[in-house]
Structure 1
Amino acid sequence: MKKQPFLLEIGTEEIPDWMIDPALKELQQLFEALLAENKLDGKVTLAEATPRRLVLMAEGISAIQPDSVELVMGPPRAAGEAAAAGFARKLGIEPQALRTVQTARGEYLAYEKRVRGRASINILAEALPGLILKLYFPKTMYWTGKGGPRFVRPIRWIVALLGAHVIPFELAGVKSGNITRGHRQLGKSRVRVTVNTYLTRLRANFVMLPRWERRLTIQSQADAVFEAHGVYVRPDRELLETLVNLTEYPSTVLGRFDEQFLSLPEEVLVTVMRHHQRYFSVFNQDGTLAPFFLAVMNTVDDPEGLVQQGNERVLRARFNDARFFWEVDQQKKLAERVEDLAKVTWQAQLGSYLEKTRRVVELVRQLGGNAHAQRAALLAKCDLTTEMVKEFTELQGVMGGLYARAQGEPEPVWRAIYEHYKPLSMDDAIPSTPEGRLVSLADKLDTLRGCFAVGLIPSGSKDPFGLRRAAQGVVKILVEGRMSVSLGQLLGENAELRDFMLDRVRYYFREVRGFRYDEVNAVLAAGWDDLTDVAERLSALQAVRPTEHFEPLAASFKRIRNILRQAAFAGGDRIDESLLEAGAERALFDAFQATRARVSESGLDYRSKLEAIAGLRPAVDMFFDKVLVNAPDASVRRNRLTLLDNLLTEFSAIADFSEIVTQGTQTDKGE
């Protein structure tokens, strides 16, 4: 069967850069599902995008869908010959062509109808309009009138080709064809393409379709700055990806700004350049900020320097604004702004930032925070009232720290304020000082407790208050800051909050720290109130797991738990030594006593405790090999269950070994 290549290009007005990657991924998934559903074979070979186009290419698509057999169900067989004849007549066949099919409701008549495969081009022509409109975007618009198709931006052209043929369809008044468009300023407005010439024709019209090519172009030109000027462009992967999605034919221009602006904090200048102008910051070899910036253009070059001059003029105005805000804000100290927080709403049901600040200060005090930590908690949110943060919201927290430093606050205070929003992600570092960790922890806990108390709980992808990030921050600070505090007491009695936090704890230890899922389950089943302790138990479990006796013993513990559950044994009894049978049973009891004494030794680390517990394996194996737990004598049977219950309970304080997944399971003797 002949195989054909495929090309789909959706040409639009400029798509917001942050919406491109998810849309492209979904486009590929939808198309692959379409191919699979219709048995068209083929595989996607390219999924690329620029601000003005989403592109999909595939190869190996069948020209014709394979024939299929469809089972058409008819009346029950018991309905008689008349019903069978009517069903056959409806299908245009003889009754003899029907066959009997056994179903859950009895025997039914059915017909195997052979369906000829359709031409792939017809299937695609019907499916592609709906597939395109199915793409999810956070915001969409209509442009053909109310009730018309909605898309992220108006669709201006569509290229749809299967082999040498146009896949004919129309969407929002735009007919598919083989005409694309080049770069908005540099290329032609009508470019005829085939599947084979598409990429080269775009390139000739100043469109670098592969994102790796745009990325490499920007990176190589940024690297060249050092050779030409002796300064270097600081790598910024997130900004780079943004600029790749904003351009079709990128090039860079190096601009300058007045050195007098270097008197402003570096954080302010970098934020203005990065977040507001999308410029790369440039640094001297000693790591200090240089009076340069690197802008990325969506054009070939800037021969007359007009683009450079325009960017320099805009940046000068932004820096002047920042300098004005810096000077005005300094006229009122942070401490004088605390009461102003009463006018800043945190959340309608939870009150103002002043109320939140008072709760955080109290929580820091309860956590044992010193005077510096409590002072930092008091001043942490005051920068929300400053002109700088109102204009550059990305600087909240950072500006508070910078203002506190400029106003003479001690370093433990200003640094705690500066870092109290950290960590912003699982890859971000926690605050560097004990005071900063306490303030950050208290702030995040207050947010979590407050939001859960009034029912503002994340659902699906919706998390407007960043509660998942806050919970992850709490976990990361407690573990990496080695803060041994009772998480249960901090979370309170809210069951939903506790479950939410437990999910974050699991995620951290599994996905961030790399522990196996059954190890995490085993340790958390033994308690997770102290996350520092959880981390130590997990490390010990991970270290002891490969040893000879550990996994077999874990399998025995699973077996013990099953025995106790099957016997509905509630526990609570004391072991009656007089009922212990000499040999394997007595040997297990003696080993249990000796191991309990060893594990109870003060100063013994978790690894040594686990190694001691693993040493029980020979005695446990011998017990199950020689002793019938389900003894005929009720007293002996109960005493043996008590021995097993004591064994399980005593040594499950570090981890619930029955949660460990082992290579095989044993068959219980006599249970």
Structure 2
Amino acid sequence: MTHDYLLEIGLEDMPAHVVTPSLAQFKTKTAAFLKENHLTFGAITSFATPRRLALLVHDLADKQADTEEDVKGPAKKIAQDAEGNWSKAAIGFTRGQGMTVDDITFREIKGVEYVYLHKAVAGKQAAAILPGLIDVVKSLTFPTRMKWGNYDFEYIRPIHWLVSLLDDQVVPMQLLDIKAGRTTQGHRFLGKAVELTAATAYEDALAAQFVIVDPAKRKQTIADQINAIAKANDWTIDLDADLLEEVTNLVEWPTAFAGKFDPQYLAIPEAVLITSMKDNQRYFYARDAAGKMVNAFIGVRNGNSDHLEGVIAGNVKVLTARLEDAAFFYNEDKKKTIDQFVERLKSVSFHDKIGSMYDKMGRTTTIAGLLADQLNLSDADKQHLLRAASIYKFDLVSAMVGEFAELQGVMGEEYARLAGEDPAVATAIREHYMPISADGALPATTVGTLLALADKLESLMSFFAVDLIPSGSNDPYALRRQAYGIVRIIAAHDWSFDVTALQRAAVAALTENDQLAGLDYQHNQTALADFMRDRVSQYLGGQDVRHDILDAVVASRDVNLAAMLDAAKLLTKHADDADFKATMEALGRVVRIADKNPVNAAIATDLFENSTEKALNDAVGAIKADYTVAPTENNYQALRSLTPVITDYFTETMIMADDEAVKNNRLAQLSVLANMIHQFGDVTAVIVK
């Protein structure tokens, strides 16, 4: 016999972004609870609105399965005395198992008799176990929490009701002063409280009270309504997935509506219009058949179509006020030159320990120049990069960005184009923020990419210079995200990016240009290098690179990001080769000895005492001619070809010879080879079986 079980948490309206992850967490923890308590079940249907999280468990077992087990106790000689009387140990053991000494049997194990009890344990009824789910309700975690009343308990929002129904019977549980029952709440304005006759009546009962509890059905309803409006008006609507998800979690009974604003506002840049509608008001914007934005929007009401004209008028009024502000800011900003904006940045603090935003742009320009030279950028691209770097933060002091902070970079691009800047410069101003999240889009242009790298590296160097280093989960300046963005960019372009070398070059250039402003950029250089290694490790972990290979490549002596990434690819590519084990063992043996006893000296061939020394010297010399400074397939194959030569060398040669000159010559020979191997990291960390 199986059952259906419903558990609903009724709350005040949750933030939209919390609903979906909280529902997933609720389902996962409930399933884990049922499994831990040995209650079998079928599918779990999830329901959620801004005011509720609910689960309907199907095919729930009536009870736990009955179990039988044999429990071993003390040895017979401990359980009974010489006369056969039961000891306290035996009596206590049986009592602890809920049985008596009459239930004892003996079994012999390796010549010793032990007490045994055969227990038949009847499974508990589901109704007796389910009240424990209140602990699951309490255990849900949220990004923000609050208290209410006189309680110390914290939750995302105050809880107002609980429903706990096993078929048609209430399963008792209580949280604070809320006792679970069968009463749920309909729509806040259109519906009313409803008594559920059974767990399976939940969805239909709430639909009758103007609540679509299935998020997928609610989302589809919204999409269908928007598409119908678009079709009726011959519009094209971008059904942005994130916005659709957010709106779905803002309403219980959706009704889409269209509104129009004065076409004069179409003169405002599209990005501003979209931000005003999408980000600020949660509206979907519309385009005509030619792809041109029209003076219309589609919103979604949490209610029915009654008095919809008033709702539309109210929304148009609110949007118009925002657009009027945007138009004013836009027109005011256009009265100023980029140079005027840049001059104002001198009084805008980047950080009180680091300096102004103007100072930051100056340092970024210097670093950008170093990157341009390193990558042999064309003269035109270099000039565009340096121009972009010298102005790229100017829009931060614009009126528009002051009101719409999310448009920083976007307005910089717009205003740069209006001012007649080259398109490459304008685009770079927008792209330098990218990626704006761990998996966000990367800059698309070379100039924008290099500006993004220079800006992020300058931020990292500056914050590390003043000891503002992320620790634990504390990262107020998003330095981990910026460093990870550098790694992703380098991975996409496979550019050489030696952090340590760039730091040194930057310090020298900043010193020469008198841009240090009292900052010690050599301070914490090692810490920054290790910080970047951690981001490489994070990236490779996301690429499913083996942990041992990951550990090997990030241990590279140089913090060249591209080299680490390439080394990981190559070692991963060859990890399944038949001779990978032999290759790693041979190379690892060289590295272990050479790193422990490094000798930097010329190799004297007249000190060779056997043919394997000459063979290794000749073989290494042969591959050095084509051996590049960064790991490549050819480099790997070259080292791989040395495996038999290295094996013979160690078989025939005693490295630590009694003759000091011979010993040092052999160590020098190994050190040369070890330096070549090190471009693949610490190969001794690679696990081979």
Match runs of 1:5-24 below 5 Å: 5-24=4-23
1:385 offset after TM fit, Å?
2.2
**Structure 1 residues 32-41 or 262-271, which shifts more?**
32-41
Q: Does 1:313 align with 2:317?
A: yes
> 2:127 maps to which residue?
121
Q: Report the 3-state secondary structure (helix = DSSP H, G, I; strand = E; otherwise coil) of the residue aligned with 1:42.
A: coil
> How has the CA–CA distance of structure 1 residues 85 and 293 changed in structure 2, closer, same or farther, with 3 Å as cutoff?
closer
1:342 offset after TM fit, Å?
4.9
Conserved 8 A contact 1:575-1:643: no
> 2:637 maps to which residue?
611
Match runs of 1:194-233 below 5 Å: 194-233=198-237
Of the candidates 134, 146, 149, which is equivalent to residue 141 of structure 1?
146
**Structure 1 residues 172-181 or 444-453, which shifts more?**
444-453
Conserved 8 A contact 2:66-2:120: yes
Q: Does 1:558 align with 2:585?
A: yes
Conserved 8 A contact 1:179-1:193: no
> 1:105 maps to which residue?
none
Match runs of 1:365-380 below 5 Å: 365-368=369-372, 370-380=382-392
Match runs of 1:44-443 below 5 Å: 45-65=44-64, 84=89, 117-125=123-131, 127-143=132-148, 145-301=149-305, 305-368=309-372, 370-443=382-455
**Structure 1 residues 127-136 or 592-601, which shifts more?**
592-601
In 2, distance between residues paired with 1:311 and 1:365? 49
- Give a deviation string over 1:395-445, Cα, whole Å, max 9, x none: 112112222322333334332222221121354333344443333223222
Q: Does 1:601 align with 2:592?
A: no
**Structure 1 residues 217-226 or 494-503, which shifts more?**
217-226
1:552 offset after TM fit, Å?
0.8
1:12 offset after TM fit, Å?
1.2
1:321 offset after TM fit, Å?
0.8
Q: How many residues align?
A: 645
- Give a deviation string over 1:327-375, Cα, whole Å, max 9, x none: 1223333322334335544445445434434433443344458454344
1:580 offset after TM fit, Å?
6.1
Conserved 8 A contact 1:157-1:180: yes
1:576 offset after TM fit, Å?
6.7
In 2, distance between residues paired with 1:189 and 1:346? 54
Of the candidates 534, 540, 559, which is equivalent to residue 503 of structure 1?
534
Structure 2 unaligned blocks of 5 or more: 107-113, 374-381, 504-521
> 2:38 maps to which residue?
39
In 2, distance between residues paired with 1:580 and 1:199? 88
- Give a deviation string over 1:257-286, Cα, whole Å, max 9, x none: 222211111111111111101111222344
> 1:530 maps to which residue?
560
In 2, distance between residues paired with 1:93 and 1:525? 61
Conserved 8 A contact 1:142-1:154: yes
1:95 offset after TM fit, Å?
7.4
**Structure 1 residues 259-268 or 613-622, which shifts more?**
613-622
In 2, distance between residues paired with 1:250 and 1:3? 35
> How has the CA–CA distance of structure 1 residues 3 and 565 changed in structure 2, closer, same or farther, with 3 Å as cutoff?
farther
> How has the CA–CA distance of structure 1 residues 58 and 459 changed in structure 2, closer, same or farther, with 3 Å as cutoff?
farther
> How has the CA–CA distance of structure 1 residues 115 and 360 changed in structure 2, closer, same or farther, with 3 Å as cutoff?
same
Conserved 8 A contact 2:38-2:64: yes
> How has the CA–CA distance of structure 1 residues 228 and 555 changed in structure 2, closer, same or farther, with 3 Å as cutoff?
farther
In 2, distance between residues paired with 1:353 and 1:131? 48
Letter in 2 for 1:529: V
In 2, distance between residues paired with 1:614 and 1:240? 54
Conserved 8 A contact 1:356-1:446: yes
In 2, distance between residues paired with 1:227 and 1:328? 38
Q: Report the 3-state secondary structure (helix = DSSP H, G, I; strand = E; otherwise coil) of the residue aligned with 1:57.
A: strand
In 2, distance between residues paired with 1:609 and 1:652? 12
Q: Report the 3-state secondary structure (helix = DSSP H, G, I; strand = E; otherwise coil) of the residue aligned with 2:534.
A: helix
- Give a deviation string over 1:75-103, Cα, whole Å, max 9, x none: x979x998749957986987798999xxx
Q: Report the 3-state secondary structure (helix = DSSP H, G, I; strand = E; otherwise coil) of the residue aligned with 2:335.
A: coil
**Structure 1 residues 314-323 or 18-27, which shifts more?**
18-27
In 1, distance between residues paired with 2:115 and 2:230? 80
1:137 offset after TM fit, Å?
2.0
1:480 offset after TM fit, Å?
3.1
> 2:111 maps to which residue?
none
Q: Report the 3-state secondary structure (helix = DSSP H, G, I; strand = E; otherwise coil) of the residue aligned with 1:151.
A: coil
> How has the CA–CA distance of structure 1 residues 436 and 129 changed in structure 2, closer, same or farther, with 3 Å as cutoff?
same
Structure 1 unaligned blocks of 5 or more: 101-107, 666-671
1:63 offset after TM fit, Å?
3.5
- Give a deviation string over 1:422-473, Cα, whole Å, max 9, x none: 1213543333444433332232223323334445444555433222221122
Q: Report the 3-state secondary structure (helix = DSSP H, G, I; strand = E; otherwise coil) of the residue aligned with 1:255.
A: strand
In 2, distance between residues paired with 1:435 and 1:502? 25
Letter in 2 for 1:393: A
1:511 offset after TM fit, Å?
2.5
TM-score by length of 2: 0.79
Conserved 8 A contact 1:14-1:51: yes
Letter in 2 for 1:234: D
Equivalent pairs: percent with the same residue? 33
Q: Does 1:590 align with 2:621?
A: no
In 1, distance between residues paired with 2:263 and 2:309? 20
1:111 offset after TM fit, Å?
9.4
1:652 offset after TM fit, Å?
4.3
Conserved 8 A contact 2:127-2:166: yes
> How has the CA–CA distance of structure 1 residues 191 and 463 changed in structure 2, closer, same or farther, with 3 Å as cutoff?
farther
Conserved 8 A contact 2:71-2:117: yes
- Give a deviation string over 1:9-34, Cα, whole Å, max 9, x none: 11112110111223223222332332
In 2, distance between residues paired with 1:639 and 1:349? 52
> How has the CA–CA distance of structure 1 residues 653 and 344 changed in structure 2, closer, same or farther, with 3 Å as cutoff?
closer
> How has the CA–CA distance of structure 1 residues 268 and 599 changed in structure 2, closer, same or farther, with 3 Å as cutoff?
same
1:226 offset after TM fit, Å?
4.9
In 2, distance between residues paired with 1:523 and 1:580? 35
Conserved 8 A contact 2:168-2:197: no
Q: Report the 3-state secondary structure (helix = DSSP H, G, I; strand = E; otherwise coil) of the residue aligned with 1:653.
A: helix
> 1:668 maps to which residue?
none
Conserved 8 A contact 1:141-1:153: yes
Cα RMSD of the aligned pairs, angstroms, is 4.3
Letter in 1 for 2:137: I
1:378 offset after TM fit, Å?
3.5
**Structure 1 residues 9-18 or 217-226, which shifts more?**
217-226
> How has the CA–CA distance of structure 1 residues 140 and 658 changed in structure 2, closer, same or farther, with 3 Å as cutoff?
closer
**Structure 1 residues 376-385 or 261-270, which shifts more?**
376-385
